Amino acid sequence: MFSSQSDVPFTTLTRRRSHCEKNRQSEHCIYPDRYQGHSLASHFQPIYSVAHRRPIGYEGLIRAQSQQGISIPPLELLSLPENGAERLMLDRLCRAQHVQNFTSQSTHNEWLFVNLNAQSLISEHPNVGFTQRLLEYSGLAPHRLVIEILENEVDDVNRLKSYIDYFHQLNCLIAIDDFGAGHSNFDRIWQLQPDIVKLDRNLIREAAQNQRAAGILSGIISLLHQTGSLVVVEGIETDQEATTAIAANADMLQGFYFASPAPLLLTENTASDTIDQLLFKQQDQRSQHSKTEAENISHLKNLFQRALNDFIRHQNLAQSSAHIFTDPRAVRCFLLDENGHQTKSTLNVFHHRQQIELRFAPLLCGDKGNWSHRPYHYKAVDQPGTTIISEPYLSVADSRMCITLSQAIKMGDRLNVFCCDLDWQQAP
């Protein structure tokens, strides 16, 4: 069932285990190995649960040195195989080493994350069974092994899914690595159904510097949660990146900010206080933001109510809108009937009309439009006399983020909804 190449790692594991058992005087027995004259070793980087504030897993990372003791970058090591069969053998050797080095140290329930070269599986069509034999030999429980796959390097999704199904049958977990890089897409997530998704590090770097990117990161994590996947933000190197990841509702965090990869697993949870501080900082920022936003909204609601009262008395949209147009965030007012149809032309404030780009001209006129699908309409109709404040959304009128204040009012025997859009662009 297994080729000689498939069995090579087990031969070396047997030799290393015997060597380890002869050297029990060391507190931890690390299993080195060699590939093309280079010595190999496992380093482990902890992955922290935000809620638990402790490592819940470790990623196994390969490290190599030449015969002269010079460090070999991982990418250089992984480029040494000359064909698919050799790549598969090196990939299995690395996974076997990580499993053995991990089980010789771990006494708790942490996960071990190991990278799998999915392209080698697809190209070489090996017989399944290597992972099961490795687990049986090492004694590592299948549910503690998380197999990381780069989904965007594989074109044959159906074949990849068959391997993932096999690993799931073993009771292992599957993680999609570097999601958000290259050609990653949510369609693959739906197809492959991973247990965990690890986000590409460039996402957190951008989100830590840009408010709009931070909002996008939150949206990505929310969508991944809806698919049933837990989310790891990796590559965290700064306090701001860590705070941003927590604010985006990431489940787990990984990066040099918390701990560097090392041969030995952590014996103390040194990051617990750090995560506590991050949580407190994020909570304080959220509280301050909520307070500021509440103050802003309170002022705008008062202006909106003045405009609304004026419109009820005079039914003059231009005259009434002037009350709320005194605030620079107000950009347009419009009136809808009970069914969501716009009954009057949109009134745009002068300073905003000057900023509107001509490339959005086809969307500027809302006359005869129907906005009944918008929450600011149907929520207002359901609660007449109550000012509705929408969540921030992208306005189709000018492709800018906005929120809408709305209220349903009776005018004779008709119900109308008075609306005002507010520019809610977040500063970069």
Q: Does 319 score more than 80 pLDDT?
A: yes
What count of other Cβ atoms lies within 10 Å of the Cβ of residue 190? Answer: 10
Q: Does 8 score more than 70 pLDDT?
A: no
Q: How far apart are CA 155 and CA 169, in angstroms?
A: 23
Which CATH number applies to 4-270: 3.40.50.720, 2.60.120.10, 3.20.20.450, 3.50.50.60? Answer: 3.20.20.450
What are the C-alpha distances in Å from 288 to residues 96, 116, 294, 329? 49, 44, 10, 20
Report the CATH fold assignment for 294-423.
Beta-Lactamase (3.30.450)
What are the C-alpha distances in Å from 206 to residues 177, 198, 252, 414? 18, 16, 18, 49
Q: Does 342 score more than 50 pLDDT?
A: yes
The distance in angstroms from the start CA to the end CA of the chain is 58
Report the amino acid identity of residue 172: C
For residue 313, give every residue at least 6 positions away whose Cβ sits within 8 Å of its Cβ, in sequence order, or none. none
Q: Please indicate whether residue 424 or residue 124 has the higher confidence score (pLDDT).
A: 424
CA pseudo-torsion sign 67, 70, 74, 78: negative
Query: At 27, is the pLDDT very low, low, confident or very high (cuts 50, 70, 90)?
Result: very low
Report the amino acid identity of residue 185: N
Report the amino acid identity of residue 297: I
Q: What is the pLDDT of residues 72-117, one digit of tens each?
A: 888 888 888 888 888 888 889 999 999 999 999 977 899 999 999 8
Share of the chain above pLDDT 70, in %: 86
Question: Is-contact 42 63, C-beta < 8 A?
Answer: yes
- Most confident among 279-288, 303-312, 391-400 (mean pLDDT): 303-312
DSSP code of 361? Answer: G
CB-side neighbour CA atoms (13 Å) of 219: 11
User: Which pLDDT value is given to residue 309?
Assistant: 96
SS3 per residue for 360-371: HHHHCCCCCCEC
Q: Does 148 score more than 80 pLDDT?
A: yes
Q: How far apart are CA 87 and CA 93, in angstroms?
A: 10
Question: Is-contact 40 62, C-beta < 8 A?
Answer: yes
Query: At 124, is the pLDDT very low, low, confident or very high (cuts 50, 70, 90)?
Result: confident
Where do the domains of the chain lie? 4-270, 294-423
What count of other Cβ atoms lies within 10 Å of the Cβ of residue 21? Answer: 9
Q: In 3D, which of 291, 376, 298 has the Cα closest to residue 332? A: 376
CB neighbour class for 102 (10 Å; exposed up to 12, middle 13-18, buried from 19): buried
Q: In 3D, which of 300, 178, 232 has the Cα closest to residue 56? A: 232
Query: At 36, is the pLDDT very low, low, confident or very high (cuts 50, 70, 90)?
Result: confident
User: Got the DSSP string for 122-188?
Assistant: HHH-PPS-HHHHHHHHHT--GGGEEEEE-GGG-S-HHHHHHHHHHHHHHT-EEEEEEETSTT--HHH
Q: Does 4 score more than 50 pLDDT?
A: no
CA pseudo-torsion sign 410, 413, 416, 418: negative
CB neighbour class for 350 (10 Å; exposed up to 12, middle 13-18, buried from 19): exposed
Report the amino acid identity of residue 144: R
Expressed in percent and rounded to 5, the helix, strand and coil fractions of the chain are: 45, 20, 35
